[in-house]
């Protein structure tokens, strides 16, 4: 590990200490009662707010609470229940197809490895990371638009491609930081470090962040 990286790890830990006070709870803001239901909720949350997902989840999980039940569902009936969220038809098809894959290829058990989770229809690396982190407590760097924006502005990476960004950070972030950083930087991006008008003058990370000085030239502005 280079001197620069050692110093950067210390800065990362200082940032995370502030964020831990700011956001003590790292639970995903989705309603679920089992690993399968978390997977289903995350699948539904693509391009939809968590609040909208939480509106449809009770009826969905009352009708089809687990993979065994969902695997027997008619995708049209599932679509009818979740029709208030975006892309509901595609998501309904993916929910049923994912449940059937869990039943047929994983012996009815939720997969617990990234390479298996991303085989489930509708589940990408971000969604798989949420399941790994919150169901299995496996370290995962969960890259979404908020996380990417915050980590770039904080100067931890310059990557914009989600997979490259994940690997860039994974190369030097200690494993114990992955899960708390994923959730808390996401929350921070929603509350303070917003895309169009970050609240830098009030931000609790101001002293650790190079962005305000560099923002005039557009550093990490996306
Ligand atoms: S100081 Fe500004 S750019 Fe840096 S983390 Fe805070 S809100 Fe984001």
Residue with tokens 């039940």: 69
Range of the domain at 202: 3-26+143-217
Q: Is residue 46 a part of any domain in this protein? A: yes
What is the rounded distance in angstroms from the CA atom of residue 222 to the CA atom of residue 218?
9
Our mutation pick for probing the ligand 1 site, out of 181, 190, 192, 195, counting the most ligand atoms within 8 A of Cβ, is 192
- Protein residue with its CA nearest to atom 8 in ligand 1: 193
Are both 211 and 188 inside the same structural domain?
Answer: yes
* pLDDT score, position 3: 56
Average pLDDT over residues 155-178: 96
Cα–Cα separations (whole angstroms), residue 39 to 150, 199, 207:
25, 33, 37
pLDDT in tens, 52-80: 999 999 999 999 999 999 999 999 999 99
**pLDDT tier at 141, thresholds 50, 70, 90:** very high
Are both 43 and 66 inside the same structural domain?
Answer: yes
CATH number of the domain encompassing residue 165: 1.10.1670.10
* pLDDT score, position 31: 96
Are both 172 and 101 inside the same structural domain?
Answer: no
Query: At which of 115, 135, 155 does a domain end?
Result: 135
Are both 168 and 96 inside the same structural domain?
Answer: no
Q: Is residue 48 a part of any domain in this protein? A: yes
In 3-state terms, what secondary structure has residue 83?
coil
* pLDDT score, position 221: 41
CATH number of the domain encompassing residue 116: 1.10.340.30
Q: Is the CB of 185 under 6 A from ligand 1?
A: no
Average pLDDT over residues 16-24: 98
Query: How many percent of the chain have pLDDT more than 70?
Result: 94
Long-range contacts of 123-126 (CB under 8 A, 24+ apart): 123/39, 123/42, 123/43, 123/98, 125/162, 125/163, 125/166, 126/162
Angle in degrees, 0-180, between the axes of helices 175-191 and 125-135, rounded to the nearest 10:
110
Are both 39 and 131 inside the same structural domain?
Answer: yes
Residue with tokens 């003590």: 24
Query: At which of 97, 118, 135 does a domain end?
Result: 135
What is the rounded distance in angstroms from the CA atom of residue 145 to the CA atom of residue 222?
9
Domain tally for the chain? 2
Q: Is the CB of 203 under 6 A from ligand 1?
A: yes
Query: At which of 135, 166, 183 does a domain end?
Result: 135
Residue 182 corresponds to which tokens in the numbers above? 């994923």
* pLDDT score, position 112: 95
Are both 51 and 110 inside the same structural domain?
Answer: yes
Average pLDDT over residues 176-189: 97
- The annotation places the binding site for [4Fe-4S] cluster at 193, 200, 203, 209
Are both 42 and 122 inside the same structural domain?
Answer: yes
* pLDDT score, position 5: 85
Residue 2 has pLDDT above 90, yes or no: no
Our mutation pick for probing the ligand 1 site, out of 189, 193, 201, counting the most ligand atoms within 8 A of Cβ, is 193
Q: Is residue 88 a part of any domain in this protein? A: yes
Q: Is the CB of 204 under 6 A from ligand 1?
A: no
Q: Is the CB of 198 under 6 A from ligand 1?
A: yes
pLDDT in tens, 33-53: 999 999 999 999 998 999 999
Q: Is the CB of 92 under 6 A from ligand 1?
A: no
* pLDDT score, position 1: 47
Do residues 152 and 189 lie in contact, with contact meaning Cβ atoms separated by under 8 Å? Answer: no
List residues with catalytic annotation.
Answer: 126, 144
**pLDDT tier at 184, thresholds 50, 70, 90:** very high
Q: Is residue 195 a part of any domain in this protein? A: yes
Q: Is residue 222 a part of any domain in this protein? A: no
């Amino acid at each position: 590990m280079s001197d620069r990286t050692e110093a950067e790890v210390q800065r990362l830990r200082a940032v995370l200490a502030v964020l831990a006070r700011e956001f003590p709870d790292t639970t995903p803001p989705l309603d679920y009662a089992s690993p399968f239901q978390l997977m289903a909720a995350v699948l539904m949350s693509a391009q939809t707010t968590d609040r909208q997902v939480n509106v449809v989840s009770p009826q969905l999980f009352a009708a089809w609470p687990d993979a065994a039940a969902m695997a027997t569902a008619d995708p049209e009936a599932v679509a009818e229940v979740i029709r208030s969220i975006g892309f509901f038809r595609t998501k309904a098809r993916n929910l049923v197809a994912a449940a059937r894959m869990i039943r047929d290829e994983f012996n009815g058990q939720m997969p617990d490895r990234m390479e298996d989770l991303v085989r489930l229809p509708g589940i990408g690396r971000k969604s798989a990371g949420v399941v790994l982190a919150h169901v299995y407590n496996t370290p995962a760097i969960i890259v979404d638009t908020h996380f990417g924006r915050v980590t770039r502005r904080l100067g931890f990476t310059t990557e914009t491609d989600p997979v490259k960004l994940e690997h860039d950070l994974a190369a030097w972030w200690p494993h114990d930081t992955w899960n708390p950083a994923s959730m808390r930087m996401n929350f921070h991006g929603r509350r303070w470090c917003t895309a169009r008008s970050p609240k830098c003058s009030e931000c609790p990370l101001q002293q650790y962040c190079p962005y305000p000085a560099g923002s005039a030239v557009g550093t990490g502005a996306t």
